[in-house]
């Protein structure tokens, strides 16, 4: 029987000791995306199963093997989203965003669900940050989203991540290519896995993305799409490369990238690391000009990408990337007796109103135990309040990092506290670089 205190296989908990890292990553992504004019769209975690069958594609691994599909109590087939694009396109159509200023640029941060074999970098519940742009078919737009993804990695200090790009053409150039592929794979038919045998007639390009070792070995020598691109697609691809070069973005053309989802056309790309094992693709994306129409809209060019947050985290942890520290407790107010404890709660409220982090005792512990707690949680300053402090209106503020003490008046406590903190910082910096310094800069942590 499943142990109820064990999380479901392939899922991860993010504890308070590390959640600040993922919050930092997400905040950076949101800010960068908004600098490019992408705004957040939130869509439900489940959709009609058919939406994914139609968009991701019937012959993809995701639809054939990986979806969490179930009947709800009304006997409808529901699927937990395996990726973020389908829901975004559905919402784009449902809310008539095509009537608004084009291009429409959106981003999302969402959990995704795929029934895969859990291993490093491969989970059953994972998270994606993604962007989608509707209504721009240009190479400039492809390049812009690649530049955006690249900026995210640069900003976060991720190293050794390489950009690989390819073009998988349009339905026109693919006709000839599909024929060539069929011919090639027919010659190797007996060695293909059963799923790929079934794909041969319906969608031979999917075989190129099969994870089975035998199929991928066969796929290595298959005809390459780049040799079959029509003139327009070829020109488009050349132009994407020019934009990337002009933006000083290094890339490698990898003619074997086809991506795992059926909706891609023309430009496809991946950001890959070789430092996190077999699951090295941290970001995947590309153009999908046919999808909006496929789901019932007017023909609308579109492109996007998704970054797997857990894989990114894995890479950053492997590279020991530095993160800004978690917000700390600026002041712990220890108290003796009920009156002092009530006063502590009021002072904490004042400090919090100024954006400072303050805590006081809610357990009824001895002062000694309170100070031990303050030390454990890494409080930057402490103050002790008892009857005599309440009577005199003065207390002693202790700087926990160097043990220095200063007298502090309880009247206008928050102002006094800030003045003392700033004075101590000035003294320690000898005035150097203090200009424009905010109290929250001194106290540190993410704000």
Q: Which is nearer to Mg ion, 135 or 284 (CB)?
A: 284
**Exactly one of 150, 281, 382, 424 binds ligand ATP (CB under 6 A); which one?**
281
Quick one: which segment of 282-290, 378-386, 392-400, 405-413 binds ligand ATP (CB under 6 A)?
Answer: 282-290
Q: How far apart are CA 181 and CA 112, in angstroms?
A: 32
State in angstroms the smallest separation of the CB of 260 from Mg ion. 5
Contact 208, 260 (CB under 8 A): no
144: contact with ligand ATP by CB under 6 A: no
> Binds 265, which of Mg ion, ligand ATP, none (CB < 5 to 8 A, cut-off by type)?
none
**Exactly one of 53, 55, 79, 128 binds ligand ATP (CB under 6 A); which one?**
128
Residues within window 299-318 making contact with ligand ATP, judged by CB under 6 A: 306, 308, 310-311
Q: How far apart are CA 294 and CA 229, in angstroms?
A: 22
**Exactly one of 21, 54, 81, 114 binds ligand ATP (CB under 6 A); which one?**
114
**Pick from 328, 327, 331, 326: nearest CA to 345:** 331
262: contact with ligand ATP by CB under 6 A: no
What is the DSSP secondary structure assignment for residue 255, as one 8-state letter? T
Q: Which is nearer to ligand ATP, 83 or 262 (CB)?
A: 83
H/E run at residue 197: helix 194-202
Q: What's the sign of the alpha-carbon dihedral 255, 258, 259, 264?
A: positive
Q: Which is nearer to Mg ion, 64 or 138 (CB)?
A: 64
Q: How far apart are CA 174 and CA 430, in angstroms?
A: 68
**Pick from 291, 57, 287: nearest CA to 169:** 287
Quick one: which segment of 259-267, 272-280, 353-361, 421-429 binds Mg ion (CB under 5 A)?
Answer: 259-267
Quick one: which segment of 157-165, 182-190, 254-262, 300-308 binds Mg ion (CB under 5 A)?
Answer: 254-262
Q: Which is nearer to Mg ion, 54 or 311 (CB)?
A: 311
> Binds 128, which of ligand ATP, Mg ion, none (CB < 5 to 8 A, cut-off by type)?
ligand ATP
Distance, C-alpha 267 to centroid of its chain: 22
284: contact with ligand ATP by CB under 6 A: yes
Structure-token pair, residue 318: 């492997």
H/E run at residue 49: helix 49-56
**Exactly one of 103, 135, 260, 297 binds ligand ATP (CB under 6 A); which one?**
260
∠ CA 350-351-353, rounded to 5°: 65
Q: How far apart are CA 354 and CA 91, in angstroms?
A: 40
Quick one: which segment of 47-55, 84-92, 231-239, 256-264 binds Mg ion (CB under 5 A)?
Answer: 256-264
Quick one: which segment of 32-40, 117-125, 140-148, 199-207 binds ligand ATP (CB under 6 A)?
Answer: 117-125
**Exactly one of 30, 48, 122, 182 binds ligand ATP (CB under 6 A); which one?**
122
How far is the CA of 44 from the CAs of 51, 66, 318, 344, 433, in angstroms? 13, 19, 32, 43, 48
DSSP output for 158-182: --S-EEEEEE---HHHHHHHHHHHH
> Binds 21, which of Mg ion, ligand ATP, none (CB < 5 to 8 A, cut-off by type)?
none
Hunting for tokens 């994914």 — which residue is that? 52
53 to 92: interface string for ligand ATP, x by CB under 6 A: ------------------------------x---------
What is the DSSP secondary structure assignment for residue 296, as one 8-state letter? T
Q: How many residues in the shown chain lie near ligand ATP by CB under 6 A?
A: 20
* φ, ψ for residue 429, nearest 5 deg: -90, -5
Q: What's the sign of the alpha-carbon dihedral 31, 445, 416, 359?
A: positive
Give every CB contact of residue 366 below 8 A, 6+ residues apart in sequence.
none
Q: Which is nearer to ligand ATP, 122 or 365 (CB)?
A: 122
Q: Which is nearer to ligand ATP, 297 or 308 (CB)?
A: 308
**Exactly one of 81, 110, 116, 148 binds ligand ATP (CB under 6 A); which one?**
116
* Interacting residues toward ligand ATP by CB under 6 A: 83, 114, 116, 121-123, 126, 128, 259-261, 279, 281-284, 306, 308, 310-311
* Interacting residues toward Mg ion by CB under 5 A: 260
């Amino acid at each position: 029987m499943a142990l109820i205190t064990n999380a479901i296989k392939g899922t991860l908990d993010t504890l308070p000791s590390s959640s600040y890292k993922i919050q930092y990553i997400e905040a950076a992504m949101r800010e960068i995306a908004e600098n490019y004019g992408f705004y957040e769209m939130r869509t439900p975690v489940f959709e009609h199963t058919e939406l994914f069958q139609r968009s991701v594609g019937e012959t993809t691994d995701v639809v054939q093997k990986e979806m969490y599909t179930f009947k709800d109590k009304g006997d409808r087939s529901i699927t937990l989203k395996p990726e973020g694009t389908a829901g975004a396109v559905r919402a784009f159509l449902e809310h008539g965003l095509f009537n608004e200023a084009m291009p429409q640029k959106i981003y999302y941060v969402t959990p995704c669900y795929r029934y895969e074999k859990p291993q490093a970098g491969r989970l059953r519940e994972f998270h994606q940050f993604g962007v989608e742009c509707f209504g721009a078919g240009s190479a400039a737009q492809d390049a812009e989203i690649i530049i955006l993804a690249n900026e995210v990695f640069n900003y976060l200090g991720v190293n050794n991540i390489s950009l690989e790009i390819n073009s998988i053409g349009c339905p026109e150039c693919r006709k000839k290519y599909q024929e060539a592929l069929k011919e090639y794979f027919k010659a190797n038919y007996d060695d293909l896995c059963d799923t790929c045998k079934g794909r041969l007639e319906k969608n031979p390009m999917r075989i190129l993305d099969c994870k089975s070792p035998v199929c991928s070995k066969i796929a290595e020598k298959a005809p390459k799409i780049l040799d079959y691109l029509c003139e327009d697609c070829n020109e488009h691809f050349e132009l994407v490369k020019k934009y990337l070069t002009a933006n000083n973005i290094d890339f490698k053309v990898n003619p074997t990238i086809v991506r795992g989802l059926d909706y891609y056309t023309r430009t496809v790309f991946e950001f890959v690391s070789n430092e996190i094992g077999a699951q090295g693709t941290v970001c995947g994306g590309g153009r999908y000009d046919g999808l909006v129409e496929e789901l019932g809209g007017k023909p609308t060019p579109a492109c996007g990408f998704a970054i797997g947050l857990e894989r990114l985290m894995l890479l950053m942890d492997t590279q020991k990337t530095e993160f800004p520290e978690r917000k700390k407790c600026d002041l712990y107010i220890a108290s003796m007796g009920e009156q002092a404890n009530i006063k502590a709660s009021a002072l904490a409220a004042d400090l919090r109103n100024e954006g400072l982090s303050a805590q006081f005792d809610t357990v009824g512990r001895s002062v000694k135990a309170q100070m031990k707690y303050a030390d454990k949680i890494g409080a930057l300053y402490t103050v002790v309040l008892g009857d005599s402090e309440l009577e005199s209106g003065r207390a002693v503020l202790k700087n926990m990092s160097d043990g220095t003490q200063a007298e502090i008046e309880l009247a206008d406590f928050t102002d006094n506290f800030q003045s003392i903190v700033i004075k101590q910082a000035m003294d320690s910096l000898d005035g150097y670089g203090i200009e424009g310094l905010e109290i929250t800069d001194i106290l540190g942590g993410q704000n």
